[in-house]
Amino acid sequence: MDISKVLTQRYPGEQWILNGDHYVGLEWLSESTKPTEKALQKVWASVDAEIAAAAQAKLDAKASAISKLEALGLTVDEIQEAFGLES
1-26 pLDDT, tens digit each: 999 999 999 999 999 999 999 999 99
CB 21 within 8 A of CB 14: no
How high does pLDDT run on average in the chain? 92
- Number of domains present in the structure of the chain: 1
16 bridge partner residues: 28
Please report the pLDDT score of residue 87 as a whole number. 59
In sequence order, which ranges of the chain are alpha helices (DSSP H)?
3-10, 37-71, 76-83
Q: Which of 7-11, 56-60, 69-73 has the weakest average pLDDT? A: 69-73
Q: Which helix (H) or strand (E) holds 16?
A: strand 16-18
Q: Which domain holds residue 24?
A: 3-83
Cα separation of 7 and 45, whole Å? Answer: 13
